[in-house]
Amino acid sequence: MNMMNSSRNKLSYMSSVVVLVLCLNLKAAHVSTASGNIISQGQSISGNQTISSSPRGIFQLGFFTPGNSHNHYIGIWYKKLQKTVVWVANRNHPVSDPFSSSLQLFPNGTLILLDQSKSSIWSTSRDPSVSSNSTSEVAAMLLDNGNFVITDALNSSAVIWQSFDHPTDTWLPGGKLGYNKLTNEKLTLTPWRSSQNPAPGIFSLQIERNGTSFLLMYNGTKMYWTSGPWTGKIFEYVPEIQLNYLVTNVSYNSYEFGSYVSYDAVFPDIFIRYMLDISGQFRAYKDFSRIITTMQGTRGYIAPEWISGEAITAKADVFSYGMLCFEIITGRRNRDLLDDGLQNYFPTRVANVLTKGEDVDTLLDCRLEGNANKEEVMRACKVACWCIQDDENDRPTMGQVVQLLEGVIDLGIPPIPQFLDRFSKSLVESIHYHNISSSTATDSRRGYSSRDCESPHPPL
């Protein structure tokens, strides 16, 4: 009798194990783990799982943690560039535990990010221009251009949703900036709030809705900067975004569902990207490998070594501070003073005034009506010119800048930097002005005209 009971207990135990295994298998079949470069219908990723782009594996997608933050986000990054993040899904809604959170693809073609309590904190929306077929299988895949797309599994050209329609702070080759009439959405760049917080910052770069200019907006309402209109080859005031040996097919396109600007990279092994940084600077990055990075920012504001590929030190920031000093002195953008070619480019004018021993009062913001300490103006001009010297060893430290401004030390009259001449010539060759006889058109965008000054800056 005891033997029969023992056999029954063993049989019951084995049956329970079989049922448990079957349940686990059914659960695993219901939500399986994605692999390779595709999240198939019903699959998910969580924890440290990632998918790579196909076919070359340039990008990866998965959970990441910015800096020393304890928050986790779904993002896309360069696989070989020290996790350089180019897109973030849940910018405003991080998760605290990626292992109990998951990004799942549902049969209706929607990607949903579920947090540890299984609540939806981010999801995709369907492109209304794509017809729906409820019987089709769907798949989400990461492409080698950095675009994360949801498509019909049997027809990859039928894109249901794509990350390129929802850029964050980075504009990749093949990506678009513009306006979608169907969804009434702007395809804009917005910087991270900080290096540890990818939530949208205070600036945004967008395309003028009824025009062809890039607009840099502050707090979404105040225009801070404009690229000027598209001329067919370049944006008038940003010749950096143009056809060159690294970038091709720069174009402005208007179609039934909206308008957008796009570009392509010439060489697939050179990773090109434009980025709007935390300070509102629109920069271009060219990454040749994991360790060599050159960068181009707002023209005339970044140190020459960023372009030449030389080692970058704190003196590069000293250069940018010098450029800011010029704008403080005159009360305008340095390039807002361009009337006759480059003769009135303000840093060039200051350097020449100091070298020739001319009156620095002519450099002041005209709205001050000469009400300024001439000695302080002279010191500020000299500091600005010392800060933008070609050789970083000739630039002062920020500690010395403070002493110079206070009048504690004096470095004398600075030499005219050679880059000013090269910069002036390159702008003359690349920018086409539209019959502007004075700076009225340029200055009026800032809310004032050169006619506001009784004695505008004379040409050199």
> pLDDT value at position 230?
80
Which residues have a Cβ under 8 Å from the Cβ of 22 and sit 6 or more positions away? none
Radius of gyration (Cα) for the chain, nearest Å?
A: 28
pLDDT in tens, 328-382: 888 877 765 444 443 467 888 899 899 999 988 888 887 888 788 889 999 999 9
Q: Give the mean pLDDT of 194-200.
A: 93
Average pLDDT over residues 120-141: 75
- Average pLDDT estimate for 41-64: 93
Q: Show me where the domains of the chain are located.
A: 33-125+135-162, 167-290, 304-424
Is the model's pLDDT at 243 over the cut of 70?
no
Single out the residue of 51, 47, 56 nearest to residue 36, CA to CA: 51
Question: Alpha carbon 442 to chain centroid distance?
Answer: 25
Element (H, E) at 249: strand 247-255
Q: Which tops the pLDDT comparison, 304 or 346? A: 346
pLDDT at 307 over 50: yes
Find the helix packing angle between 346-356 and 315-330, rounded to 10°.
90
Q: Which of 192-206, 314-328, 366-380, 410-424 has the lowest mean pLDDT?
A: 410-424
* Phi, psi (rounded to 5 degrees) for 258: 150, -160
For the chain, give percent helix, strand, coil, nearest 5. 25, 30, 45
Q: What is the pLDDT of residue 226?
A: 84
pLDDT digits (tens, 9 = 90+) for 149-172: 999 888 778 889 999 999 999 999
Compare 11 and 40 and report the one with higher pLDDT: 40
Residue 119 pLDDT: 94
Domains 33-125+135-162 and 167-290 belong to one CATH topology: yes
pLDDT in tens, 58-87: 999 999 999 889 999 999 999 888 779 999
Rounded-to-integer distance, Cα 361 and Cα 353, Å: 10
Answer whether CATH 3.20.20.80 is correct for domain 33-125+135-162: no
- Distance CA(63)–CA(71), nearest Å, equals 10
Instruction: Return the pLDDT at 45.
Output: 95
Cα–Cα distance for residue pair 364/374, rounded to 1 Å = 10
Lowest mean pLDDT among 23-27, 231-235, 243-247, 385-389: 23-27
Domain at 304-424: CATH code: 1.10.510.10
- The pTM assigned to this predicted structure is 0.62
Pairwise CA distance, residues 199 & 196, whole Å: 9
The answer to whether residues 70 and 18 touch, using CB atoms and an 8 Å cutoff, is no
CATH architecture group of domain 167-290: Orthogonal Prism (2.90)
Q: Which of 229-233, 258-262, 421-425 has the lowest mean pLDDT?
A: 421-425
* φ, ψ at 161 (rounded to 5°): -160, 150
Arithmetic mean of pLDDT over the chain:
77
Q: Is the pLDDT of residue 446 over 90?
A: no
Q: Can you tell me the distance from the alpha carbon of 232 to that of 100, in angstroms, rounded to the nearest whole number?
A: 51
Note the pLDDT of residue 443.
38
Instruction: Report the pLDDT averaged over residues 433-441.
Output: 32
Average pLDDT over residues 402-431: 74
